[in-house]
Amino acid sequence: MKLEKLLERIDYKVLAGSTDIEISTLVYDSRKVEKASVFVCISGAVSDAHDFIPDVVKKGAAAVVVEKDVTPIDGVTYIKVDDTRLALACMSAAYFDYPAEKIKTIGITGTKGKTTTTYMVKSILESAGIKTGLIGTIESICGDRKIPSANTTPESYRVQELFKEMVDEGLDAVVMEVSSQALMLHRVSGFTFDIGVFTNLEPDHIGEHEHKDFADYMHCKSLLFRQCRLGIFNGDDEHLEGIMKGHTCQVETYGYKSTNNLVAENVELKKEHGALGVKYHVSGLLDFDVEVNVPGKFSVYNSLTAIAICHHFNVDKKAIEEALHHVSVKGRIEIVPVTKRYTLMIDYAHNAMALESLLTTLKEYEPGRLVCLFGCGGNRAKSRRYEMGEVSSKLADLTVVTSDNPRDEEPMDIINDILQGVHKADGEYVTIPDRKEAIRYCMENAKDGDIIVLAGKGHEDYQEIKGVKHHMDERELIADIIKENPDIRL
């Protein structure tokens, strides 16, 4: 492939050499450079790839793309751009022959609801015969392949590579989570989404290595709606105006308010035989009843979002009803059937905001007791421990403090930090460091009508201790506990 082909949709300046050269690979990781590679220099928070130019030239790189002033080395083509992250996105799209133009692309952004909604959309579209890929926090799914994820949204090169694999697989659409970081760092630049979606916005991801303030966070989220054809928005969110600022797309809204294009009416909480969910009627652009076996007001929003998206694929409402009735997302309010006496669920809530939202939602179901089991990760901010401890003690009838990913810290040190928060409220609590034994305690001491939440691990199937990830899946722990004590299911 010619270098000039990779650069055809970019503004650039040739500092040295020629663009009329053959390129073997497009690379942004210096370790992967080979003979005739073009190396894109990304300025990162930890290291600056411009520093590695002499190394990649020695490895045989034919060209480098820079955003800083550098001294060219003879025999190598130097391309100067304003932003190498944007250049990488555009070059990646060209490298894989613009796969986003051969598949329907759906991007979902927002503080909460992205993961669940992507799975709902995939479930509905697949049930209607529309082959759909997924890129998200838990995994990427391409046909029968499932690839574990490192980031909510991968680097732009990987996004385009996944699109290409999905096109080659014969898929019709792809639904993906789009984080604010991804928008800020151009991971989803270089193409236009067919549909962009906004779920909600709350203060999050604000700090030294993320967004400097809430305004910056909101601005980055809003960028999605300058690169999509249709924007579907939560019309009830208080930050709607800020998210829509500068949008260039067609607009559609959903929510509880009657002014929305799709409206949720007559919402009921559903609680029967250890299962929790919601029922409601959707009106406006569509008119039918919906039943979802995932609890909470946010399940109404998530499912309504999915309906709004799938409506544009002309999916029959019966297919939507059926898919939503059976949808389940690993680690996101995932109910594990054990007995009809009580409800046991696994959820990824691993900060105070998420935990408070979850517990507040579950209290609306008027459980006999609300039991919350959780721990906190090591080598992370201690404030999270105090905050989660206080939230659980305030909202749950019983808090079971255990271990999560202690990493390089001692589990009991983390637990003692959590207890400082627990003591700020008046909820009952027990401390059981071994997570399996903590789960066993919850199950063996469960009372009729209890809702038990195992929070923090969600989809994760490991526990990280002293730099080593040990396999640990809470679903397997529950199965082992039942096998060791079958009477626990009675």
Q: What is the pLDDT of residues 330-349, one digit of tens each?
A: 999 999 999 999 999 999 99
Mean pLDDT of 99-120: 95
Q: Is 75 helix (H, G, I), strand (E, B) or coil?
A: coil
Other beta carbons within 10 Å of 8: 11
What percent of the chain has pLDDT above 90?
A: 89
- Provide φ and ψ at 360, rounded to 5°: -60, -40
The values of phi and psi at residue 338, to 5°, are -125, -50
| Rounded alpha-carbon distances, angstroms, from residue 402 to 317, 336, 399, 418 | 44, 20, 10, 10
- Name which residue leads in pLDDT, 206 or 76: 76
- What is the arithmetic mean of pLDDT over 393-410? 97
pLDDT at 201: 92
When the pLDDT of each residue in the chain is averaged and rounded to a whole number, the result is 94
pLDDT at position 447, please?
A: 95
| Alpha carbons 57 and 34: distance in angstroms, whole number | 9
292 touches 278 (CB < 8 A): yes
In the 8-state DSSP scheme, what is residue 280?
A: E
For residue range 131-146, list pLDDT tens digits in order: 999 999 899 999 999 9
